[in-house]
A and B are shown apart, each in its own frame.
Chain A
Amino acid sequence: MRSLTVCTALGCALLLHGCVAINIYFPAAAAEKAADKIIDEVWQLKKPGEPATPSSDTPQSK
């Protein structure tokens, strides 16, 4: 009975830890993906019908 209580307490502690760990974690890759999507639309970098892959043939300054 006592070990069960300990087990529950441990479970609660882990649960709390999980919450904290997830809350402080910033998904950098997902944020980049979201930023790219929005910037492409704001700056009209991808015309409709063009392939979704980043084109390497865009005019560069060289």
Chain B
Amino acid sequence: MRIMNISRCGWLALLLLLAGGAWAQANLEVNTPAIAALQSSMQKRHVELAPSYANGAIGLTRDGFVALRDANAVPLAQRQQINGLIAAENQDRSALYREIARANGKPEWENDIRTTFAQRWIDKAQGGWHYQNNAGAWTRK
């Protein structure tokens, strides 16, 4: 009888696990203070980055980051500043992917999350912005 109870407990636990899996499928947790902080930092930086997306100086890479695409589009005096912005943006993006994976208790998802973001950044980019296609070549949207 006792073994029977243990077995039932096992099934119940399995059911709960499956239900938990189904819930996780519906939504990813993104409402944490760390993610909100990264989001707002990137939002502020975007004001400075936007002109460089538009004139092709910066492009969206296929692996979910940004990169200097055409240094000639940036006046010499501003090159250092733009490099700093790119480095900071990539640092935030990297932390964002890691934080989302962590917030969901699945650090091993970091790469999948980065790949998903890479596609969505490109899909949502404005016309005229540059991105790397699957072969790694710069393409104008």
Contact = CB atoms under 8 A, between A and B. Distances in A.
Given A39-B121, A39-B124, A30 B28 contact: yes
A30 B7 contact: no
A59 B141 CA distance: 13
Size range of the interface on A? 35 or more
Among B11, B27, B28, B126, which residue has the most Cβ atoms of chain A within 10 A? B28
Interface in A11-62: 11-12, 14-15, 18-19, 21-23, 25-45, 59-62
Contacts of A36: 120, 124
Interface in B10-38: 10-11, 13-14, 17-18, 20-21, 24-28, 30, 35
Contacts of B7: 4, 7-8, 11
B59 to A, nearest CB: 15
B117 A39 contact: yes
B14 A33 contact: no
- Residues of A contacting B: mostly: helix
Contacts of B26: 27, 30
B47 to A, nearest CB: 9
Interface of A: 1, 4-5, 7-8, 11-12, 14-15, 18-19, 21-23, 25-45, 59-62
Interface of B: 3-4, 6-7, 10-11, 13-14, 17-18, 20-21, 24-28, 30, 35, 39, 42-43, 46, 96, 100, 106, 108-109, 112-113, 116-117, 119-121, 124, 126-128, 141
